[in-house]
Amino acid sequence: MRCARGIASLRRVEHPSSDPKPTRRERSPRRNLYFESRYRKLRRGLPQTIFWCPTCKGDRRRREGCEPCQGFGKLTKESVQELIGRRMLPAFGARTGRFHGAGREDIDVLMLGKGRPFVFEVVGARNPNVDLEALRKEIEQRAEGAIELAPFVPVRKDRVAYWKQTNFEKVYRAEVALLAEPASLDAAVAFEGKVTQRTPQRVAHRRADLDREREVKVLSVERIGDLRLGLRMQCQHGTYVKEFVSGDEGRTTPSLASLLGVEARCDLLDVEEILTPLSTFADGV
Ligand SMILES: [Zn+2]
């Protein structure tokens, strides 16, 4: 044994560069890394994850000549996931990433406040040594104001399940268009209680048609213009907020429209805050 080892080390000394390619063992192994942060979404029309074309599903062969996406494979150029991934993946020497959000907002809804928690999974990272704060700043800079990120914190894989399984109340703000001036805002201002929502027409094609109850508390209602209201409310997770405003042709009761006695439509909607417990985030955000 001693003799064999001696010869091996001697060979290495004599031919230090005989094999310039690193061996399999010397190359750092690929592994999956998990980073938790929160995103603020400040541009409307930006989906959280890649918005694959529903017709061709982005498939390289099928998307050629696909009309809905015009061969692009996606229905939007960017998403929160892509704005992060296109900087993050090269930095870690990885090709693929997975975005695990704590729920999601509609594409046309801004995500404000402290932002929405998420875990970004870097699949097959070759280089784990990345300056996370420099990376965060670079992502924000290249996103040109579309997103802002809280600092990244390396986390364990089980944080993905935590955010997927835990639900939180949210504070929304909405701009509401009315068909007529309501006589009084009092009933709407005072509303706090259960709302029964039948699956909205706009999602009925992909979700089961059923009734469910959600707690809604109106925080404030104010007139912000002719036939326009500013509404703030706190909602249980899973509340269909746009339908709470309009009533969805009687499928949501009560609704802002029924409380005001006039037809109402949600024109703009933002998530003002996701009410997560303070202790859930590593840096105390
Ligand atoms: Zn397509």
* CATH number of the domain residue 207 falls in: 3.30.70.3190
Contact assessment for residue 243 and residue 200, using Cβ atoms and an 8 Å cutoff: yes
How close is the Cα of 66 to the center of ligand 1, in Å?
5
d(CA 105, CA 46): 10
**Is 101 a member of any domain?**
yes
Residue ranges of the chain whose pLDDT lies below 70: 1-27, 278-285
CATH number, domain with residue 124: 3.30.70.2510
Residue numbers of the domain that contains 45: 31-166
Task: Give domain status of residue 26, yes or no.
Answer: no
Whether residue 127 lies inside any domain: the answer is yes
Which residue among 59, 106, 108, 186 is the active-site one? 106
CA of 103 to the centre of ligand 1 (A): 25
Do 146 and 261 belong to one domain?
no
Question: Percent of the chain, pLDDT > 90?
Answer: 81
Are 41 and 162 in the same domain? yes
CA distance 205 to 52: 18
Three-class secondary structure of residue 257 per DSSP: helix
Contact 218, 191 (CB under 8 A): yes
Give dist(CA 101, CA 114) in Å, integer.
14
Domain count within the chain:
2
pLDDT of residue 26: 57
Residue 60: partners with Cβ closer than 8 Å, 6 or more residues away = 73
DSSP 8-state assignment for residue 52 = B
Residue 265 lies in a domain: yes
- 97 and 218: one domain? no
Give residue 203 CA to ligand 1 midpoint distance, Å: 21
Using DSSP, how many helices (H) and how many strands (E) does the chain show?
Answer: 7, 11
Separation of CA 50 and ligand 1 centre (Å) = 13
> In this structure, is residue 17 part of a structural domain?
no
String of b and e for 147-181 (b: at least 16 CB within 10 Å)?
Answer: bbbbebbebeeebbebbeeeebebbbbbbbbbeee
pLDDT value, residue 85: 97
Average pLDDT, the chain: 89
Gap from CA of 227 to ligand 1 centroid (Å)? 40
**In the prediction, which pLDDT does 267 show?**
96
Query: Is there a single domain that holds both residue 210 and residue 141?
Result: no
Question: Cα(185)–Cα(207) distance, rounded to whole angstroms?
Answer: 33
Q: What is the pLDDT of residue 7?
A: 42
Question: Which residues does residue 38 pair with via DSSP β-bridges, in sequence order?
Answer: 117
Question: Do 141 and 123 belong to one domain?
Answer: yes
270 assigned to active site: no
Residue 29's pLDDT is 83
The reported pLDDT for the residue numbered 281 is: 53
Report the distance separating Cα 16 and Cα 266, nearest Å: 71
In a domain, 283, yes or no: no
Inside any domain, residue 20: no
Residue 27 · residue 21 · CB < 8 Å:
no
Kindly state whether residues 121 and 43 are assigned to the same domain.
Answer: yes
